[in-house]
Amino acid sequence: MSTVYNPANLLTWLRIVLIPVVVGLFYLPYEWGDIAAGLLFAVAGITDSLDGWIARRMGHVSPLGEFLDPVADKLIVATALVLIVSRDPTWYVTLTAAVIIGREIAISALREWMAEIGARRKVAVSSLGKFKTIVQITGLSMMLFHEDLFGLPIYRIGLVLTVLAAVLTLWSMVVYLRAAWPDLSRSA
């Protein structure tokens, strides 16, 4: 089977294809549009966990998958953050979005640089990074969902989780930078 079309990569491609669908649902002039956008974003987040598990389980780990998976993650998370800020441009929502997006850009650059010097494993995804992703996907899903559910303020709970994800994102960035520091300082 082609590495482009193996089950794990198909899930990653699906996550990318879902981006414009989430955007379209978000801007629908119906109350259910937000609910559908939040639920679809949650489904996309679940595919993030599934694609890696399937790739390892079925022996379909590929360079394309290793490249495409983090790209898909960053695209869908950045899109969700831009959507949320477009509707709630308060300083704390905007700052949270800027921290998360900025960290993703910085860590992507760090990983690329570390790969060039043959030290990519030093900045491999950690359990802290995986936990941050779970909190982030849950929080963003709730913020996109937006509507209260069973009397619970879903948007506010999502905001708290997303702010927590921003704190975790900074913490994980420090962990990655500390791991890379000997190589960074040596090349300076």
Give the other-Cβ count within 10 Å of 45's Cβ.
Answer: 22
Q: Which CATH superfamily is domain 3-187 in?
A: CDP-alcohol phosphotransferase transmembrane (TM) domain (1.20.120.1760)
Residue 144 pLDDT greater than 80, yes or no? yes
CA angle 151, 93, 48 (to 5 degrees): 80
pLDDT at position 187: 61
Three-class DSSP category at 1 = coil
The predicted model gives 139-146 an average pLDDT of 97
Q: Is residue 29 pLDDT above 90, yes or no?
A: yes
Helix (H) or strand (E) holding 45: helix 31-58
pLDDT single digits (tens) 82-94: 999 999 999 999 9
CA 145 to chain centre: 17
Name the band, by pLDDT with cuts 50, 70 and 90, for residue 100.
very high
